[in-house]
Each structure stands twice: as structure tokens, then as C-alpha cells.
Structure 1
């Protein structure tokens, strides 16, 4: 066995041991379902900020999205890196304070529970609990992305890799819940920062001193902000509008916005947001790998494998390269796990709090129910990932963007408007957004899920505003 092989297994073993140790610490601090779901409000806002940035970045940013940049060029980079970052910052500046305030008042552990306390209707919160199960599509993306990485570093088949990843992540989340998620994400987030800067600097020479000219040399469309040759990123709305709107709405996902509930008080919000934005902005530099792979002349027929193939091309063949490759692959696996564990914690807490408990009228042993739910979610995710669809990124976006579209009106209006809101109007707007997104994307000829979701979001917001004006007019006549 070569020194590179020995290093590979030693580093992997050290990472696994460290994650389990952090999870064991988390398990000691997790006494009930509340601690499992949002912790005991004793974590640093900086730690929570790194946790959130790592959760947002994940396999999509580090493994899948560089493939979109490889195929579609600068327009894809602007869509994910610039418009998306602006959406993230705007969402947290607008929503964090109000969401935390209302969450504190209601002691909400999950977004459906927050919806229940805001709108006082169990049926509406159940609807939200069930549509939040669309997050499973992102679980599938992460499982597939991580399994592709594992096949690049270990002599293992992809299906075997799926099982190994599933068992590892689920076991440490089952132990410690939110604390395991936060502690391990801080470790993973620091590793992700190191690798992002390493890969950004390592491949920058491919631009040969002129970034735009290098991209235009591939094709004029490839180096254009609006790529006329792309079916996904071809005009202002598909690049900027859709990227900003859908990312703003994505911050309403349960494993993201509920991070606000980890905070001790409103005084921590500024530190939390600043940490998230700074770390998250650095993470977007990983998208450059898509450019580097294209400029290196690599012919990669399967878009989802761009990162794996680029890394193997750049770092294979030398002892130092093999050592670097091992660290990078382990870190990219950590990037996926940092989001997967957050989704699992939020989904399991949500199923117990917002589906099992209300329907069974019991609150017995919620922590045990939460852990059993994790196992069920994992098995469903494994079945869907076993034979994944082509372009797993678009598959995940269809589901998660549908959830984002349905969430925006109830969450945004619920936070910004303190007075009681008409439930029928808010609920119907949520239905319109969900169905509108799926119709446009599946049957309406809109290939980019961000565009279909954004159209649906805009339509639901206009519908809500007009409805409120009409209701106000009729109420004034009474």
C-alpha cells in the first residue's frame, strides 16, 4: 500500500472518529425533542452562522452546480453565485428578526408549527408539514452527489457508496440531533473554506490573465451574462430574477430558516447574518471549478460528474497530488453531509411535531419518534437515489423550489404584517404557487425550475396583494 493510500484511509478514519466524537457530545446535551430540533439556545451566533453557511452550500454548490457552469458558462455562475447570494442576504435581513420574535412567542420548533401559531389553523400547518416532505428530493441529490465522489476516491461501486453514506450520516444525527449537526457542520464548514480557496487559486491559471476573454474563446454565448445558446440561463429573468427570487424563497426551507431559532436573542442576529454571508460568499468560489474543467479541455459527457472528473484530472499522478485529492474529496463529502444532516434533523422534528403528534393526539416519547422518522426518511431517500434521474440537480430543484414557492406568501406576509391575515387568502396563494410551479415546469415548457417557481411566486404575491385590497374595500363598506 502506497503512502497516499495510507494517508487516505488515515484521514478518512480521523474524520469519522471526530464526527462521532462531536455527535457523542451532542447526544449528551440532547434530552428531549426540543433539544433535538433547535438545541438549548446556548450556541454561539458565529457557530450557528458557519453551520448555516455550510448547510446552504452543500453538495449542490460543491458538487452539482459547477456542472451547470461547465455546460452553460458565465450565465450559470451569475445565476448561482451572484443572484443567489443576493437572495440569501435579502431573506435574512428581512425575515430573521420577525421570525425569531414570533418563534420565541410561540416556542415553535419547526416551520409548520410556526405556521400553526401564526394562522391558528391545524389543517394549514398539516399541509405545510406534508409539502415539506418535498425536501426529500434534496436528500436524493446529496446522496447521489456524495456517492459519485466516493467512487472517485475509493474502489467502491456507487450503490455501495450510497449505503455507506446513508448509514454514516444517519447514525451520527440519530445520536445528537441539532448539536451533532451544528458541531459537525462547524468542522465541515472550516474544511470547506480551505478547499474552496485551494481549488480557486489552483485553477485560476486557466484564465491566462483575462477571465472574460478566456470564456469568450470557448464561445461568445459561454462568456455572456445572458447565454443565447442555453435553455436555462438566457435572459435577465432566468439569470438574475429567477436566481434572486427562488433563493430568497429557499431560505424558508425548514433546515435553513429554523437556524434563527437556535439564537439566544435578537442581539445575536447581526453576528449570525454577517458570519453566514461572509462564509457563504467564499463558498460560491467553488463554482469556478466548472470554468476550470471547461478551459482544461475536459470532455465530460455526464454533467453531474464534472467536479469528480476535474479533480481526478488535476491531482492524480503524483504523491502530493494524491494526498491533496484525498483531502479535497473528504471535504466535498463533508459538504454534502453538512446539509444532509440539517435536512434530516428538521424533517424528523417536523414529522413528529406537526404530523404524528397532532394526528395521534399524543406527545409521548417524541425524541424516539423523531429518530424512527429519520430511519424512514433515509430508506425513502435511498430508494429514490438507487436509480437516479439524469441531471440530478434539476430533479432536486423541481421539488425544493416547489416547497419554496408555496412557503413564500405565508412566511413573508406572516412576518412583515403583524395583524391577523385572512387564512383563506393566504392558503389559496400557497396552493396557487405550488401548483403553478409544477404546471409551468412539467407541462408549460419552462425548463428552468427557478424560472417556473419565480413566476409562481410573483403570481401568488400579486394575488395576495389584490385579495387584501379587495377585502379591505369590502370591509370598509360594512
Structure 2
């Protein structure tokens, strides 16, 4: 069998398997609740793999290795070390309380969770609209996947963009959360295998001396704080912002709402353990940035580092071409594993937290959720048609803004048991979002993680001050 025939057969087999899993999901999806969070009958191990695959998507597997390629060790520490600690801390702190309150109110989305916690429809609507910033991450994934498709098939990037969109949207439209969870389990297993293979395959470039190899590129390249970098140059930009923003990113609707898939609190430890172990393995994909640089690879644009490295390493031999096909399909799966999760969350959120509160429930929620998916897809393709030079930074501007606004309302909502005045959390959310956008767009801060962390710190200060000022205040109805 020729590599070309193998490629088409493997792609066809993968596609048929995904559609079969989606069909199974469709048979179990009868309501908008089932479409959004399932029927609470999934194994915590399946949910953990699903979440790890959602977190470690195109950003980790395709885009972020480009930052390591350009900025060196400081970028790896920012994403791989500080980011991993932020993920672990967020789940240890938030999971149990979020699940408890989400179950008591039967919440399907984060804005709905906000409504049940603070009992204010206007605040939940505010959160629903700023959650639309997640569309920037949809754009990142679409662009990253289209780059991979162009390395696999002889098509231009715009055609690849449409192909990716049609495939992902079609199987998510069928099964919602079940399609997302089932396909993510398959994709997560593929991603673990490929990560291990690529990590071992490229280790040769260090020649047994990790830091010595990095110093051969440059002293700053091998430094924890890269003075030559405009993004990762000190403790704040490398470690503190990496930890804080990743902690806050766990509040994204397609991530934290995975907790609501669990049957009960008894499943939490299994869920967290699975997520951390699998997610830590995925972080090894960042090493490709080092491998590509040490191999002497020259690329025109940072976002294409992974694609060009794989073509260089595996495209020159017959056996390598077979391996390359499997790797490219797996990296596509990594992107799709997050894209489908965002799509399910966004569609459920628009229906439950925007349409129904404003227009009533005269529309069929399940049908409307699927139409919203189509609308999100159209917007995503329009934004991805002519993407910015660094798609990673573009996505971070939007998603980090959402994270900066979400942290205080969700964190306080979980950890503070007493009544919290609305102005405290509403003011904190506004401060976090506005300061992030101001510093990043007008304040000369190029790293969105840094600008978002400034916003988060300010929002925390405001929120804590508000709690102290109102510590003896009772809600109006109790008074």
C-alpha cells in the first residue's frame, strides 16, 4: 500500500469512527440539558480525558511550540510549568464547590451558574455576552487545523478551513456533549501516543546536554528570563502571569462546565487525577519548539513551526510518510477535541443565557442550540479567513479577557459562603476585563497574559476590599 493510499484510508477510517461515536451520542441526546452536559452517566475517567484533550488542543499541539521555538526556555516555563501548576490549583480549589452549587441549581453553563449564585439576570447576561469572546479561540483552532490539513493534502488554507469546519460541526450537531466526550476520548488516546513518540524521537537533538544544547542557540534562549524576548523576560511575565492566567482560564465555559458532567462528588478525585496525568503528558508537545530550533529549521511564520518540523523529520522516507499521516491526523484531532467542546458550550450558553431570558422559551432549545452552532461556525470562518500574523496572541487577547472578568465572580462564588453584594463582583468583573484590554491594546504590554494578570490583581483587590467593607451586611430580604 502506498503512503498516499494509506493516508486516504486512514482519514476515512478516522472520519467514520468519529461519525459512529457521534451517532451513539445522538441516540442519547433528547433534551438541551443532555446536549449541553450529558445525563450525568459518564465515567470520571472519560470526563478527565475529555477535559485534558480540551485543555491541550491546537494551542498546545500546534501554536504554542512556535513560542518555544522563538523565545526558548522562558516560553516553555510559562506554558509548561507555570501553566500546569495553574491548572492543578484551579481544579483543587474550585471543582467541589462548583459541582455542588451547579447541581443544586441544575446549571448548564457558567452564566447560568452565575445567575443561581448571585440571583441577578442582568449579571448573568453580562457574562453570557463576554463569554462570546471564546470565538477568538475558535479562530485559533480553525487556523491551526487548516495549517495541518495543508501539510496533509494538496489544498490551499482557505479550502482546508472550510473542510475542518464542516467536519467538526457536522458531528457535534449530531450528538452534542456525548459526541464531544466520546470523540475526545478517542482523540485523547491518539494524542497521548503521538506525544510520547515525538518526545522520544526528538530528544536526540540535546545530545545528552539539555542546557548546553539550548545555550548553543544563545545564552538568553537558555535563560528562564529571556532579556531578548518581548513576551517572557522576568518573573512576572514567565511564572506569575502564566500561573494566574491559566488558573483563570479554567473558568472558561468549555472547561469548568466539564465538572457538571460528573455524577457526584465521589468522582472528583478520579476526574482530577486523570486530567492532571494526561494533561502533563500533553505538555511535552512544547518540546517540539526546542527540537525544531536545534535541528536548524528555518520558518517564515512562527505558527507553522510544528507543521514544517514534522514534514522535515518524517517526509523524506517511506516509513516516515506513513508515520506522518497518523501524526497529522492526531494533531487535527487535538484541535477538534477543543473546538467541539467550545461549540457545545457556546451554543448551550446562547440558548439558555441569552435567547431564553430575553425571548422566553417559545423556541425548541435543542433545535435552537444546533442552529446557534451554525452561526458560530460562520462567524469563526469569517474571522479566520485572513488571520493575523500571530494567531496565538490574537486568541489570547479575547480569551484572557474572559478569564480576567470571570475569576472573582466564580472564585468568590465558590469560596465565600455568605451573601456577596452584587456591586462587589460586578465591579471586579468589569475592572478585570477593562484593564486587560486597556493595557494590551493601548498600554504597550504585548503579552496578553501580563495585561490580564494586572487586570485580575486589580479586580481581586477591589473584590476583597468590597468583602471587607460589607462583612456585616445582610442581603435585603434577610434584613
**Matching residue of 1:386:** 385
Q: CA deviation at 1:447?
A: 0.6
Instruction: Supply the distance in 2 between the matched residues of 1:203 and 1:474 (Cα, whole angstroms).
Output: 60
**Matching residue of 2:268:** 269
Q: CA deviation at 1:182?
A: 0.1
Instruction: Supply the distance in 2 between the matched residues of 1:75 and 1:218 (Cα, whole angstroms).
Output: 14
Gaps of 5+ in 2: none
Alignment of structure 1 residues 77-476 onto 2, 5 Å: 77-472=76-471
Q: CA deviation at 1:474?
A: 8.1
- CA deviation profile, 1:326-374 (whole Å, cap 9, x unmatched): 0000000000000000000000000000000000022531000000000
Q: CA deviation at 1:466?
A: 1.2
Instruction: Supply the distance in 2 between the matched residues of 1:49 and 1:336 (Cα, whole angstroms).
Output: 17
**Matching residue of 2:27:** 28
- CA deviation profile, 1:77-110 (whole Å, cap 9, x unmatched): 0000000000000000000000000000000000
Q: CA deviation at 1:144?
A: 0.2
Instruction: Supply the distance in 1 between the matched residues of 2:121 and 2:131 (Cα, whole angstroms).
Output: 15
- CA deviation profile, 1:309-339 (whole Å, cap 9, x unmatched): 0000000121100000000000000000000
Aligned residues: 475
- CA deviation profile, 1:13-35 (whole Å, cap 9, x unmatched): 00000000000000000000000
Q: Is the aligned partner of 1:7 residue 2:15?
A: no
Other structure's SS at 1:180 match: helix
Instruction: Supply the distance in 2 between the matched residues of 1:173 and 1:473 (Cα, whole angstroms).
Output: 48
Instruction: Supply the distance in 1 between the matched residues of 2:187 and 2:325 (Cα, whole angstroms).
Output: 15
**RMSD between superposed Cα atoms in Å:** 1.0
Instruction: Supply the distance in 2 between the matched residues of 1:175 and 1:54 (Cα, whole angstroms).
Output: 20
Q: CA deviation at 1:178?
A: 0.1
Instruction: Supply the distance in 2 between the matched residues of 1:65 and 1:459 (Cα, whole angstroms).
Output: 28
Instruction: Supply the distance in 2 between the matched residues of 1:110 and 1:334 (Cα, whole angstroms).
Output: 25
Other structure's SS at 1:472 match: coil
Q: CA deviation at 1:292?
A: 0.3
Instruction: Supply the distance in 2 between the matched residues of 1:472 and 1:137 (Cα, whole angstroms).
Output: 38
Instruction: Supply the distance in 2 between the matched residues of 1:325 and 1:83 (Cα, whole angstroms).
Output: 31
Instruction: Supply the distance in 1 between the matched residues of 2:351 and 2:268 (Cα, whole angstroms).
Output: 28
Instruction: Supply the distance in 1 between the matched residues of 2:115 and 2:466 (Cα, whole angstroms).
Output: 22
Instruction: Supply the distance in 2 between the matched residues of 1:470 and 1:278 (Cα, whole angstroms).
Output: 42
TM-score normalised by structure 1 residue count: 0.98
- CA deviation profile, 1:210-263 (whole Å, cap 9, x unmatched): 001100110000001111100000000100000000000000000000000000
- CA deviation profile, 1:40-91 (whole Å, cap 9, x unmatched): 0000000000000000000000000000000000000000000000000000
Instruction: Supply the distance in 2 between the matched residues of 1:367 and 1:268 (Cα, whole angstroms).
Output: 28
Other structure's SS at 2:268 match: helix
